[in-house]
Structure 1
């Protein structure tokens, strides 16, 4: 299981971890402000104030508010894809283990930065072309990883759902949605949520787990 207490894993979804240090401050400020006011309700000045910069200093790092949003969204999906692919590579050949690995990485990733997760979900509509089309394609690629594992499990007799693609989509939505309500101060840890949702996912695909 991914160690969410590891300092590297605790960094917000790869959005602020990459690029120059000044970028990280702006990205974190953008996530915070847009989580409160949305993309269209946020100005460059709002971001600059939250980051402790002047608007001119912000423009030294990003050409526009749109570029900041695009950077946040793209770093997020690229980090998610990379972690998912690595998790599958380490999971072995068993379809149940592979589905458990997908659920684990998807939930823990989205709980690392819940505000960023909600921003990424709600502000896709604000992305402009050509970034939006490229970004959507990466989201589809992430979904296809789930699709492939579930369909492969059905073909191999490990899963018995009659609706493998629908089940795969439902699992992704279910796991992503944890970020909208999970409380770090609540009774369940992220690891416990992983265990619960792994069980739910296997039930959804009618897995043979004996």
Structure 2
């Protein structure tokens, strides 16, 4: 990657070595465009503007690159979601809206990373897959807990809280498959639409909630 090219991924950390960052950035672009099995180490090195040997100095293999992409992507998603919950008010509707905002924003603004994460889980070793699945489960459990608590408090009226929660997460994740900047919705507008859809999915009744207050 040339010194003038801006990073296309939010997975880069300030503490990253510049060459490491360039390779990771290139890998997101190339794997996102060609798929993991359609991408060679040489393809990534050429895109990053480094030699294959330099790539191996920073990543032991193409598989290790894939693991870093998925692992960092989920860390960013979980951190954003936990922060959103921390900043929200205690009522279940506000907490669900905070979760949706974090999840939709992450997937709308990290479309390539989301595509790689959802399409290339099968390409991971058993050990790496277990790590990534455990982090996905951590994210899902935050939604499960909020929806379950909302039903317990009779703020939500979903007949199957877990199914409703899974439906919301799946819908929010799928934003990455179709959303394009400059399209019909801005990210804030998209978030608002999905928040309303999520509240309807879990059976939120605003009138009842207001009456309880």
- The answer to whether TM tops 0.5 is yes
In structure 2, C-alpha distance between the alignment counterparts of 1:183 and 1:17, rounded to whole Å: 25
Q: Which moved more, 1:101-110 or 1:126-135?
A: 126-135
Q: Does 1:39 align with 2:32?
A: no
In structure 1, the residue matched to 2:94 is 97
Which structure 1 residue ranges, 5 or more long, are not aligned?
A: 1-9
In structure 2, the residue matched to 1:194 is 191
Q: Describe the SS at the equivalent of 1:160.
A: coil
In structure 1, C-alpha distance between the alignment counterparts of 2:8 and 2:32, rounded to whole Å: 18
In structure 2, the residue matched to 1:85 is 82
Number of equivalent positions? 200
Which structure 2 residue ranges, 5 or more long, are not aligned?
A: 1-6, 208-213
Q: In the alignment, is the contact (CA less than 8 A) between 2:9 and 2:28 conserved in 1? A: no
In structure 2, C-alpha distance between the alignment counterparts of 1:11 and 1:192, rounded to whole Å: 23
In structure 1, the residue matched to 2:3 is none
Q: What TM-score does the superposition give when structure 2 sets the normalisation length?
A: 0.90
Q: What TM-score does the superposition give when structure 1 sets the normalisation length?
A: 0.92
In structure 2, C-alpha distance between the alignment counterparts of 1:200 and 1:101, rounded to whole Å: 13
Deviation at 1:12, TM superposition (A): 3.0
In structure 2, the residue matched to 1:17 is 13
In structure 1, C-alpha distance between the alignment counterparts of 2:120 and 2:58, rounded to whole Å: 21
In structure 2, the residue matched to 1:209 is 206
Q: Does 1:144 align with 2:118?
A: no
In structure 2, C-alpha distance between the alignment counterparts of 1:157 and 1:128, rounded to whole Å: 43
Pair member with larger Rg: 2
In structure 1, C-alpha distance between the alignment counterparts of 2:139 and 2:184, rounded to whole Å: 30
Give RMSD over aligned pairs.
Answer: 1.3
